[in-house]
Amino acid sequence: MTAFDTGDDIIPRAGVIGWPVDHSRSPKLHGFWLQQHGLTGRYDRLPVPPENLAAFMAALPREPGFRGVNVTIPHKVAVLPYLAQIDPVARRIGAVNTIVVQPDGSLFGSNTDAFGFFESLRAAAGENENMAGWQVAAAPAVVLGAGGAARAIIVALLDAGVSELRLVNRSFDKAESLAAEFGPAITALDWEERAAALGGAGLLVNTTSLGMTGQPALDLPLDDLPRAALVSDIVYTPLETDLLARARARGNPAVDGLGMLLHQGRPGFQAWFGVAPAVTPQLRAAVLA
Ligand code: ATR
């Protein structure tokens, strides 16, 4: 059996490649939208071990019905050499999470994580009356972490016009090298400065794994954070992290990490299946179930 395992019918198909890929929520996300829109289509988990990536990418354009794939760990960077075209945002992030098979069989790669993050903030701002008038670019943003997820969030915030981004990371050198790469809006700060970095901020984003189920807690006193600041955690297991709970308890608006996951799926679904899908409370419930 190959990763494709197509069966006989030629119907529009997409899926998520990763290794392991069992825990991906993307099949639930895209499966919900397929059903909601009454579309004939499939979206599957596609387990691809690293040693099979080259063969998978070579076969993808020739698989009957395959419109493209989402890409997750550990392939987000490794797929780059197989793509004929890479969207400029994905180039800046340095990773691809969405691949579309073009009519000529070539592969187009993009990264929808920055879009997903920004859309999840925008949706939260629209739904939360405490956030009337909140604008991402109006005050400094604090980003914790300097890994792959941080890169997507940095690009999203710079593109949204944020002019001061305080980047705090345990390994200072990684924050420094992102500051050098992304320019003068970024200030690299030492992990010990994380509480003081919150002064005057309008947004705090945790992109580290701290606070995730099975990981250490995020030790970050929020006293210096203005109450109007939006607090966002890209961790979504648990959905309500300790950071978000503490933020809400002191009156800050808060956005959980599920929104980013749901919104990042929208462009891929539209490209593969031809319908622009929406993020709704029903979708959230279905993906969490
Ligand atoms: P991702 O692609 O999800 O961003 P990653 O590249 O492994 O994953 O990055 C994980 C982030 O969490 C990094 O910023 C990491 O800090 P280091 O660069 O110092 O490794 C941060 N992180 C993980 N465990 C941490 C801990 N115990 N304390 C502080 N930061 C931590």
Cβ of 172 less than 6 Å from ligand 1: no
Look at residue 271 and tell me if it is in a domain.
no
- pLDDT at residue 4 is higher than 90: no
* Residue of 151, 206, 208 to mutate, ligand 1, most atoms within 8 A of C-beta: 208
Same domain, 130 and 218: yes
Same domain, 56 and 186: no
Q: Give the Å distance between the CA of 5 and the centre of ligand 1.
A: 35
Whether the Cβ atoms of residue 30 and residue 269 lie closer than 8 Å to each other: yes
Upstream peptide bond of 61 is cis (omega within 30 degrees of 0) = no
Same domain, 39 and 121: no
Confidence of residue 259 (pLDDT cuts 50, 70, 90): very high
pLDDT for position 9: 60
Look at residue 278 and tell me if it is in a domain.
no
Q: Give the Å distance between the CA of 207 and the centre of ligand 1.
A: 8
Nearest Cα to 147, choosing from 171, 121, 181? Answer: 171
186-190 sheet: strands from edge to edge: 186-190, 165-169, 141-144, 203-206, 230-233, 254-255
Whether the Cβ atoms of residue 237 and residue 215 lie closer than 8 Å to each other: no
Q: Provide the β-strand partners of residue 256.
A: none
Cβ of 173 less than 6 Å from ligand 1: no
Residue 40: which CATH number? 3.40.50.10860
Same domain, 171 and 234: yes
Look at residue 255 and tell me if it is in a domain.
yes
For ligand 1, atom 21, which residue shows the shortest CA distance? 208
Cβ of 147 less than 6 Å from ligand 1: yes
Three-class DSSP category at 52: helix
- Residue 82's Cβ-count burial label (10 Å; 0-12, 13-18, 19+) is middle
Whether the Cβ atoms of residue 189 and residue 166 lie closer than 8 Å to each other: yes
Whether the Cβ atoms of residue 124 and residue 100 lie closer than 8 Å to each other: no
- pLDDT at residue 7 is higher than 60: no
Q: Where are the alpha helices (DSSP H) in 3-142?
A: 26-36, 53-59, 88-93, 113-127
Same domain, 68 and 146: no
Look at residue 8 and tell me if it is in a domain.
no
pLDDT for position 10: 86
Look at residue 274 and tell me if it is in a domain.
no
Confidence of residue 1 (pLDDT cuts 50, 70, 90): very low
Q: Give the Å distance between the CA of 124 and the centre of ligand 1.
A: 26
Rounded to the nearest integer, the mean pLDDT of the chain is 95
Same domain, 240 and 166: yes
> DSSP letters of 132-143?
TT--GGGS-EEE
Read off the pLDDT of residues 238-255 as tens digits, 9 standing for 90 and up. Answer: 999 999 999 999 999 999
Residues 196, 219: Cα–Cα separation, whole Å? 13
Same domain, 120 and 222: yes
For ligand 1, atom 28, which residue shows the shortest CA distance? 170
Q: Is the pTM of this model over 0.85?
A: yes
Look at residue 266 and tell me if it is in a domain.
no
Same domain, 247 and 132: yes
Number of domains comprising the chain:
2
Look at residue 63 and tell me if it is in a domain.
yes
Q: Which domain holds residue 161?
A: 114-259
Same domain, 118 and 106: no
Same domain, 248 and 144: yes
Same domain, 168 and 102: no
Sign of CA dihedral 12, 18, 238, 254: negative
Tokens 């405490």 label which residue? 130
Catalytic residue at 174?
Answer: no
- pLDDT at residue 205 is higher than 60: yes
Look at residue 34 and tell me if it is in a domain.
yes
For residues 40-68, average pLDDT:
97
For ligand 1, atom 12, which residue shows the shortest CA distance? 208
Tokens 């189920």 label which residue? 213
Read off the pLDDT of residues 157-180 as tens digits, 9 standing for 90 and up. Answer: 999 999 999 999 999 999 999 999
Last residue of a domain, one of 85, 111, 137: 111
Q: 30, 76, 194, 263: which one is catalytic?
A: 76
Q: Give the Å distance between the CA of 268 and the centre of ligand 1.
A: 27
Same domain, 243 and 157: yes
Residue 153: which CATH number? 3.40.50.720
Cβ of 148 less than 6 Å from ligand 1: yes
